[in-house]
Structure 1
Amino acid sequence: MRSKDRISYFYDGDVGSVYFGPNHPMKPHRLCMTHHLVLSYELHKKMEIYRPHKAYPVELAQFHSADYVEFLHRITPDTQHLFANELSKYNLGEDCPVFENLFEFCQIYAGGTIDAARRLNHQLCDIAINWAGGLHHAKKCEASGFCYINDLVLGILELLKYHSRVLYIDIDVHHGDGVEEAFYFTDRVMTVSFHKFGDLFFPGTGDVKEIGEREGKFYAINVPLKDGIDDGSFTRLFRTIISKVVEMYRPGVIVLQCGADSLAGDRLGCFNLSIDGHAECVRFVKKFNLPLLVTGGGGYTKENVARCWTVETGVLLDTELPNEIPDNEYIKYFSPDHLLRIPNGHMENLNTKSYISTIKTQVLENLRFIQHAPGVQMQEVPPDFYIPDIDEDEQNPDERMNRHTQDKQIQRDDEHYEGDNDNDHDMDDA
């Protein structure tokens, strides 16, 4: 056992102030709520808090096509009417709208995951957290499912510079299709996704039969579930499969996507997990004592997302949090009871014992084909940073000189950041 985990936590208040639009379920504002809850429980005193760098276009193009990155950089709400063909080509529209500061939003959440991976690579921490990340649907050349840039793929590519095998685990209610697709042909990344599966449920992929191809055959694992799965069934299945995966695959590092739309009562989800059930997965993965990168993901009932990720920050810090939420700027969202834990919902669990048993058997059977961990020829490690030698402020005179550039690192006692106040238009959907 490590005596005490060193934890790096990435946060930038700007990420929570972007607005997808009045009827859009994705509310980045939930990140401010999470952060203030973390502060109110004084968890920031137990970890190193960083403001991530804004990922450069050239860093985003490590996975995404350069023309797609360039398009995201260029498009604005005022000019989108001029780009009908490109909007359709890159899948921007209703699910993935163009909004103010879209590119900067992508740069910040992707920068957080890339920075987290780099700190782990250089053994500057044992666990790195970026709740703003986890946007697992974005593809190489297009946006998908509220995701524009796939920070997880970028983080994993970074980790592959120092680790021969990366394990990716996804507990979002939606299939982690973008990450699976990116690594479908390699044995250097194993992707394991637990998700709701059905023809009419986004993204429609993630059947147990999808197992990877060529060198990646048997290195994609999908655990398709039905509506209403509860803590007991989910955590038993999770522990069984993940312990076998770690034993067989022997990863050097784990990336855990903690989408909170798998919680009971989510606006878009259909599972029945309590926060403790969801957090149990985080607790279990932490016990392997491997370098761990933790991100957010989906989650559309904002106050429950904030509760969940705060509890999970506590789990990663081995800190039990009192159920009574301390006073904070967002306390009104947690009324009337101001409690941290939420009860399970009352959904019927459509996952019968025999269904779960069948899925478990199929997954464990597939794992037998990777009898021992693959050998990997390690190449020369590419440099961490390829930063073009340009002065960004001169290049974009209208981009405001904002405070990331002024202070890269948030001091631990810096409890409030300008720009974190409620967006008025965001209040009515709480």
Structure 2
Amino acid sequence: MTDRYSEETFFKDVKTQEYTPFYTNNLTSYSPNVSYHYNPKVCQYHYGVRHPMKPFRLMLTDNLVIGYKLYEKMDLYLPEPASKEQLQDFHTDEYIKFLEQVTPDNASKFSEQLQKFNIGDDCPVFDGFYDYSALYAGSSLDATQKLIQGTSDIAINWSGGLHHAKKSMPSGFCYVNDIVLSILNLLRHHPRVLYIDIDLHHGDGVQEAFYTTDRVMTVSFHKYNGLFFPGTGNLDEVGIGKGKHFSLNVPLNDGIDDESYVRLFKAVMEPVITSFQPTAIVQQCGADSLGHDRLGTFNLNIKGHGECVKFIRSFGIPLLMLGGGGYTPRNVSRLWCHETSVMTDVTLDPKLPDVLPFRNYFNPDCSLYPNLGDLLDNKNSRKFLENVKAKVLEQLRNLKGAPSVQMNEIPPDFNKLTPEEERELDEFNEREEQLMREMKDSARNGELME
């Protein structure tokens, strides 16, 4: 009899919890339409046992978003994979054909192409990797389309944000550059697109794709010491031709904390937005800039990272929110759940819902906001950060206001450079290729550390 009553009591407690609010509406004046784009198949792929990229982090994120009932605050979409033709809007036909054809079973037949296309430990051939790439890219393109149609003011795809992939090769765990594809799509309807990257690593693939145009401004906050992957992202990388001064890089040292990072971010991004006057923004929210990340070297907490995206949201400009890096899955999912709440303008209960699947994965504290800011010494002095800020703002002053663009210049048409500009671009590409060759093996070893 006692057991029966205990079971009934437990059953009623669960039912009660189904109606328990896990968030509080903030009721600010800006109430955008937010959409959430997610295909559950994308979390079913596996890079390999020892590989730090774990797509199941997306399942954990989705479970948190559902557990906190944030679906009540958004339009939900199940996107289709990107088509081959859509992927070829940026990537070469030869490269996409290779991704389609190669598998773990037949990889030995593609030895020459594997070397040509930079396939190795960091970007391995795993079962279904073409389908995986098409899924996350399709979700970003679906989110982009909702912004273009005006049905969404903010569109979220946490499976996207893979910013290292190049036109004809993968890089840094990224096979297809969904960010570039999304920006290309936006450029057909928006005169100016701003790209913001707060991943630990430099957003080199996106910067390279738009290095010669004034229609896209790229701003990347990242670790830089000349050796850390991908080795690019110094202050002197400013763009070429029409794109000169439209690439901004904010190189940082290890251990930067919330206060320093957020202060610098706001000090840079407010004048960027005021000067460039973007009509759409793409924000890459890589979670490897959090403290305690498996590959990370910063000390950011979840709310500090979230404060940056909250600041960008406050401008009320159409916004595409994407994921990116992040190699401690439980903290990745915490971050992207929190930033979903920021976009939907609600405050979440710090204690994770009791009915959450995989709740024990967040033991021992079962908190949405663990302390992640205490691991490393902050090597970013006030003087160093002020110097970085001064150099970035000096570059920004060269813009002299928002560029007047020709809407008929749709990529790849904007790559019409003078002979001098072409030589400058070739020299830049040669330097980058040489750097990548020199650091290829060491970068891979560093990325795949246990």
Say whether residues 1:273 and 2:300 are aligned partners: yes
Within 5 A, what are the aligned runs for 1:46-65? 46-65=73-92
Cα RMSD between the aligned structures? 1.5
Whole-angstrom CA distance in 2 between matches of 1:179 and 1:114: 16
Say whether residues 1:244 and 2:271 are aligned partners: yes
SS at match of 1:77: coil
Q: Give 5+ residue unaligned stretches, structure 1.
A: 383-428
Whole-angstrom CA distance in 2 between matches of 1:378 and 1:84: 43
The residue that corresponds to 1:348 in the other structure is 377
Whole-angstrom CA distance in 2 between matches of 1:143 and 1:32: 24
Whole-angstrom CA distance in 2 between matches of 1:282 and 1:35: 19
Which of these residues, 145, 163, 169, is aligned with residue 118 of structure 1?
Answer: 145
Deviation above 6 Å: which 4+ runs of structure 1? Answer: none
Please list the CA deviations of residues 134-161 of structure 1 after superposition, one character each: whole Å capped at 9, or x if unmatched: 0000000000000000000000000000
Say whether residues 1:369 and 2:398 are aligned partners: yes
Within 5 A, what are the aligned runs for 1:386-397? none
Structure 2 residue identity aligned to 1:363: V
Contact 2:187 2:410 survives alignment (8 Å): no
Which structure has the larger Rg? 2
Within 5 A, what are the aligned runs for 1:3-402? 3-326=30-353, 327-343=355-371, 344-379=373-408
Structure 2 residue identity aligned to 1:149: V
Please list the CA deviations of residues 97-137 of structure 1 after superposition, one character each: whole Å capped at 9, or x if unmatched: 11111111111100011111111011011000000000000
Please list the CA deviations of residues 213-234 of structure 1 after superposition, one character each: whole Å capped at 9, or x if unmatched: 1100000000000000000000
Output the TM-score relative to the length of structure 1: 0.88
Structure 2 residue identity aligned to 1:121: I
Change (3 A) 1:2 1:108: farther
Contact 1:195 1:225 survives alignment (8 Å): yes
SS at match of 1:83: helix
Contact 1:169 1:254 survives alignment (8 Å): yes
Change (3 A) 1:67 1:243: same
Output the TM-score relative to the length of structure 2: 0.84
Please list the CA deviations of residues 377-412 of structure 1 after superposition, one character each: whole Å capped at 9, or x if unmatched: 222999xxxxxxxxxxxxxxxxxxxxxxxxxxxxxx
Change (3 A) 1:381 1:136: closer
Structure 2 residue identity aligned to 1:90: F
Contact 1:2 1:289 survives alignment (8 Å): no
SS at match of 2:347: coil
Q: Give 5+ residue unaligned stretches, structure 2.
A: 1-27, 412-448
Please list the CA deviations of residues 176-233 of structure 1 after superposition, one character each: whole Å capped at 9, or x if unmatched: 0000000000000000000000122100000011101110000000000000000000
Contact 1:192 1:223 survives alignment (8 Å): yes
Whole-angstrom CA distance in 1 between matches of 2:360 and 2:148: 40
Contact 2:123 2:171 survives alignment (8 Å): yes
Change (3 A) 1:240 1:380: closer
SS at match of 2:346: coil
Whole-angstrom CA distance in 1 between matches of 2:303 and 2:150: 30
Q: CA deviation at 1:21?
A: 0.3
Structure 2 residue identity aligned to 1:335: N
Whole-angstrom CA distance in 2 between matches of 1:209 and 1:377: 27
The residue that corresponds to 1:402 in the other structure is none
Whole-angstrom CA distance in 2 between matches of 1:182 and 1:379: 18
Whole-angstrom CA distance in 2 between matches of 1:136 and 1:82: 29
Please list the CA deviations of residues 247-289 of structure 1 after superposition, one character each: whole Å capped at 9, or x if unmatched: 1000000000000000000000100000010000010000000
Whole-angstrom CA distance in 2 between matches of 1:297 and 1:59: 20
